[in-house]
Amino acid sequence: MSTDLTTLADSLLDKARQASSGRAAETIEGGSGHALRQTVLGMAGGADLSEHESPGEATLQVLRGRVTLSADTGETESLEQGGLAPIPATRHSLHADTDAVVLLTVVKPIA
């Protein structure tokens, strides 16, 4: 089953703008018991995903807007629409510099 990322991005961004957290997400592939998990996350401009542990091997692709990915090592990376970067293997956070939608892809070992 395919997913229309443009429609999903519009919907999640609308929800994020209304949410007190400034965020809304939907997992579109994988989940429990799967090695691959893909989640689309909409973030209103100024919203943060506070520092958290690395989920495993992962990448972040910006579908819309601009975000800043920060590692607890002090490294930061600004990404704009079309940008793709690996998620740091250390604790990290994400800040929406503008209204943004990102695709998080995580590969986890199956237990």
Lowest mean pLDDT among 11-15, 45-49, 72-76, 92-96: 72-76
**Where in the chain are the domains?**
5-107
pLDDT tens for each residue of 31-84: 667 788 899 999 999 999 998 887 778 999 999 999 999 998 889 999 999 999
Pick from 80, 92, 64: nearest CA to 8: 64
pLDDT at 95: 97
Largest CA distance in the chain: 40
Pick from 60, 68, 43, 57: nearest CA to 109: 57
Q: Which CATH architecture has domain 5-107?
A: Sandwich (2.60)
pLDDT at 47: 97
pTM for this structure? 0.90
Cβ proximity of 63 and 13 under 8 Å = no
Q: Which two tokens stand for residue 85?
A: 């970067």
Residue 30, classified by CB atoms within 10 Å of its CB into exposed (0-12), middle (13-18) or buried (19+), is middle
